[in-house]
Amino acid sequence: MTASNYRITIIDSIEQISKERWQYLAKESGPFVSYEFLHALERSGSCSNESGWQPCHIAIAQSQHGAVNLVIPGYLKTHSYGEYVFDHAWANAYAQHGLDYYPKWISAIPFTPVTGSRLLSDGHIALTPSLLSELENTLTAYVDSVFGEALSSFHWLFANESTSAQITSSGTPKPNDFSIEQLRDQSDTLNRYLTRYAVQFQWHNYGYGDFDDFLNALTSRKRKDIKKSRRKLNEQGVRFTHHTGNEISPETLQFFTKCYKATYLKRSGHVGYLNDAFFEQLVESMSENMLIVTAVENEVAVASALFFYDETGLYGRYWGALKEIDGLHFACCYFEGIEFAIEKKLSLFNPGTQGEHKILRGFEPIYCRSHHKLQHESFHTAVADFLQRETPHITSYFNQARNALPFNKEFVPTLKTTSVTAPNDDTYNHNEKNDEI
């Protein structure tokens, strides 16, 4: 079947596909590509033309009248905020040459830098090079006809291995098995997607029985540091409560949103990308996939963190505090998350973006990737050159992070992050982030 035989439809509202069909295609792909999550973003107005996140999903069917076989969550962007793959320098370069970088099209989950599938499929359609080209042509024509503007570029953010293989039309190595040569190779760049790498940090569950079991895998010094930090909070009267499903009361959610807004306002001068309506709809539609941790000091609530989870993973997303307490951020956002993941026997815990401060809490570095294609050939080539120069720094950062992991020598061979030979317990961090989890 040729690309022209498929039915490609641009969808500016997720409601144009039935919830049942979307969920069938998105099964086992995680909470963030679920109909409920994306619908809440749209219905609340968090993702709209006004917010710079115009829904622009793609639905593909094998026949003109058959059921949709493949959906791709996508958005037209008029800025680069909330993506966590930073291309502001590319936009500035366009502007300096009198060109428009926006609108651009991205396949991503808004405000959610979590690796996952961007191709939600029933298995009947593969994204071949010809179909991908047809998809790009359809998007370009759509933006021109509906908005009267030229689409500058296509971006696939935080794509998993399967999606990456189809976008790049080649086998993609497993996340932590990249060689420098593989990472740097951006040859034959014209008409091909460029791959950009970044490093995040994840905690892996190696069959721990409880939190102390996890601590026993660390060096004695780091184990003592964490115990001391948690004991100090306990002596100050700080306690934590977990709320999931029906336990997430209106009062629990309202306190979380209060903390979320206060922290964003202090850090960025605005109350956050997401509004009350978004969080309220999530509690209505997917509370069984939500965890809210509330920190209480001497019976007074002082901080809160929101996580999402499914049968395999826990994902830390947002947090806020009304009072600054030493060690509270790490306890609320990381250690409570680890406790929950161990209790629920979840295989991984992705605590969010940003990073060095996570290493010494037992979070291992992983590579994540995005793919980019700029329609202006000269800029596409320039970005390819930039990525060739950027990538060795990414690999160096990964290796430094790997070698700073605080696990004891006996446990090192167990780690997902292979080839760690001498964890360095003398690594210090002087720029610990305290905004997003």
pLDDT (tens digit per residue) in 52-63 = 999 999 999 998
* Pairing mode, strands 364-374 and 348-350: unpaired
Copy the structure tokens of residue 16: 């144009």
Upper half-sphere CA count for residue 137 (Cβ side, 13 Å): 10
Copy the structure tokens of residue 250: 């209106």
Residue-wise pLDDT for 274-322, tens only, equals 999 999 999 999 999 999 999 999 999 999 999 999 998 999 999 999 9
The rounded distance, in Å, linking the Cα atoms of 187 and 97 is 25
Strand partners, 107: 156
Upper half-sphere CA count for residue 266 (Cβ side, 13 Å): 15
Look-up: residue for tokens 């949103």?
257
Residues 6+ apart with CB under 8 A from 388: 184, 186
68: helix, strand or coil: strand
Whole-prediction pTM: 0.90
Is the pLDDT assigned to residue 66 strictly greater than 60?
yes
Is the pLDDT assigned to residue 416 strictly greater than 60?
yes
Look-up: residue for tokens 């006004």?
50
Copy the structure tokens of residue 328: 């509270």
306: helix, strand or coil: strand
The rounded distance, in Å, linking the Cα atoms of 53 and 67 is 27
The rounded distance, in Å, linking the Cα atoms of 101 and 383 is 13
The closest alpha carbon to 219, from 408, 359, 364, belongs to 408
In the chain, count of helices (H) and strands (E)? 14, 15
308 backbone dihedrals φ, ψ, rounded to 5°: -120, 155
Average pLDDT rounded to a whole number, residues 417-421 = 51
pLDDT band at 387 (very low <50, low <70, confident <90, very high): very high
Is the pLDDT assigned to residue 420 strictly greater than 50?
no
Is-contact 213 256, C-beta < 8 A? no
The rounded distance, in Å, linking the Cα atoms of 148 and 153 is 16
- Residue 209 CA from chain centroid, whole number: 28
Cα 284 to Cα 279, 288, 289, 309, 330: the distances in Å are 9, 10, 11, 16, 29
Concatenating the DSSP letter of every residue in 112-131 gives ----B-S-EE-SS----HHH
Residue-wise pLDDT for 324-369, tens only, equals 999 999 999 999 999 999 999 999 999 987 778 899 999 999 999 9
- Whether the CA torsion 218, 220, 222, 223 is positive or negative: it is positive
279: helix, strand or coil: helix
424: helix, strand or coil: coil
Residue-wise pLDDT for 183-213, tens only, equals 445 445 666 999 999 999 999 999 999 999 9
